[in-house]
Amino acid sequence: MAREFQRGHKARISDLTTGTDLYVGVQIAAPGLTFDISCFGLDADERLSDDRYFVFFNQPKSPEESIQLLGAQAGDTESFRITLDKIPPQIHKLSFTATIDGDGQMSQVNPGYIRIVAGGEEVARYAFSGSEFSTERAVMLGDFYLKDVWRFAAVGQGFDGGLEALLRNFGGEVAEEETPAAAPQAQAGAAPGFAPPAFGAPAGAPAPAPQPPAPAPAPAPAPAAQGFAPPPGATPPPPSPAPSVHAQPTIVAPMTPPGGAPPPPAPAPAPYGQPNQQPYGQPSAPPPPGYGYPQAPPAQQAPQAPAPPPGYGQPTPPPGYGQQPPYGQVPAQQAPYGAPQGAPQGVPQGAPQGPGVAAALQQFKETPTGQRWTQQNKKLVRVDLGVGGHPVLARQGSMVLYQGKVDFSYKGAGFAGRIVGNATGQEMQLMRCTGQGQVFLAENSTMLHPIELQGDGICVSAENVLAFDESLQYEVRRIEGHGIPGGALFTMQFTGTGTIVVKTHGTPVVLPVTPTTFADANAVVAWSSAAQVIVSSQVRMRRNAYPGDTGESVNLQFRAAPGNFIVVQPYEI
């Protein structure tokens, strides 16, 4: 029987099936809407590892065929074959997404699902409906992610910007109408899915061209690869690279700047000289294959000469956009950077890439992943309260900003809790965060470490806890010891299923405690709850009868079976 997932639920794939050759089916539909269902292969930083690992209707498989697009079947709108054993080591996550092709909102979708089938038997299913979304045009349905072992997560996170928003989120770029970027990809071997160059008839070999279009019949017009007519353009590889097949400008073209129009791929510039010929494969465009195009630029360069007089005095600013007329968008784009006289010089110095402030701050942008807990950087963490459905308990005053509808309330420990907290030093001043928004948490620029518990436990001092899921259970634990004031130390023990965010001063080190390990009680941050801990004291009457002290008289001694650990920070509280 298939295991039913709710939004935010996760599980090891090995707990669902012993198989590694899996079928992933997606069912999504809405009246009058069409959907593009894709799979992104992401690296450890959750960025698109390689353009070839963006598997969609126009690129139906990854290089080693570990990810394959199978098409509609068995009642699914789209389906994939995922072979976990073949996935290369640089891929740490597979994100399955659905985007609306054209206008529309995800709130209009009928009940749908993403499911996993192994050996012909369905083992997992995450069902969703339009009521879970609003104005989004794209949604991340589910993830396969590598954390020691491959796991599955039901995501259900939407994006208002559609496919472009997803691409930028994963580190891809949406090129403008200049599809030349696709040409380099063709050479890299992305031919399989981009083969529909049916309109490159003049270039030659119409026979091969019709075959590739099969993967993406509708988009066939876009891959106008006739620009590669000089070589045996009839060959599917050159045409295939044209990612412009999608309804929007271009899908993955991070290799060339939007206005670059590299010299080798002659077809790219063609759209400027003859707007409608290249995209639609008009016969007139193919005859000048490759070299016919250069004639267009000269025609536009002619107007460029008169362009300087308007006061710019330097016709050089537009070189990057050589194909466009001087009085076109180029001057207009440069104007914002300063007065007409200084614009040309200021742009290359301050912002060679053009975006200006946006480019300088790009590295600090939010990194939405669709998961409940997301580490924005080493000192800031974000929790999405809409994922998982249960509240979060956080240290009072740790919220730095929030988005959406979020309610903050005081979380009291009760009379008995205050007594225990005061007596043990393990009292936590908490607030309860509920709602459907996102909360960003941080405290005193300490480093944050989200730790996911799945039925196991961890011991952490209350001093080192920033926030945790309310689904976790916690209690004060006593550590016996002799020769110290009070005869014992105390800590907090967290158990259950959920995430706890631990603070450290500096980068911590994690050590196994299979051999007996001693650590300073003030430097230890956390340890596995299965470890045996006792207080080790080196206080001796004879030793302490003389002046001076080492400062290392009280330590914690850890012993445990393999798999247990301690976390120590380079700082003593």
Which helix H or strand E contains 113, and what residues bound it? strand 112-118
3-class secondary structure, 473: strand
Count the helices and strands in the chain (H runs, E runs): 11, 29
Strand arrangement of the beta sheet that strand 532-537 belongs to: 517-520, 554-559, 532-537
The pLDDT assigned to 42 comes to: 93
**How is residue 349 annotated by DSSP?**
H
The pLDDT assigned to 231 comes to: 39
Question: From CA 204, how far away is CA 9, in angstroms rounded?
Answer: 53
What distance lies between CA 250 and its chain's CA centroid? 20
The rounded average pLDDT for each run of 10 residues, N- to C-terminus, in the chain (573 residues) is: 87 93 95 92 88 90 95 93 94 94 89 94 93 88 94 88 75 57 44 38 40 47 39 40 42 44 47 45 45 42 45 44 46 44 43 62 74 89 87 94 91 76 79 92 94 90 92 86 59 92 93 84 87 71 50 75 88 74
Cβ contact 96:81 at 8 Å: no
Please state the φ and ψ torsions of residue 77, each to the nearest 5 degrees: -65, -40
Cβ contact 487:534 at 8 Å: no
Cβ contact 165:140 at 8 Å: no
Across the strands, what pairs with 5?
A: 126
Q: Which of 536, 498, 499, 539 is nearest to 517 (CA)?
A: 536
Which helix H or strand E contains 168, and what residues bound it? helix 162-169
**Domains along the sequence of the chain with CATH:** 3-169 (2.60.60.30), 174-290 (no CATH), 374-568 (3.60.160.10)
Cβ contact 373:451 at 8 Å: no
| Model pTM score | 0.43
Cβ contact 54:41 at 8 Å: yes
Question: From CA 68, how far away is CA 385, in angstroms rounded?
Answer: 34
The pLDDT assigned to 271 comes to: 44
Write out the DSSP string of 401-454: EEESSEEEEEE--HHHHHHHHHHHT----EEEEEESSEEEE--TT-EEEEEEEE
Question: From CA 474, how far away is CA 459, in angstroms rounded?
Answer: 9
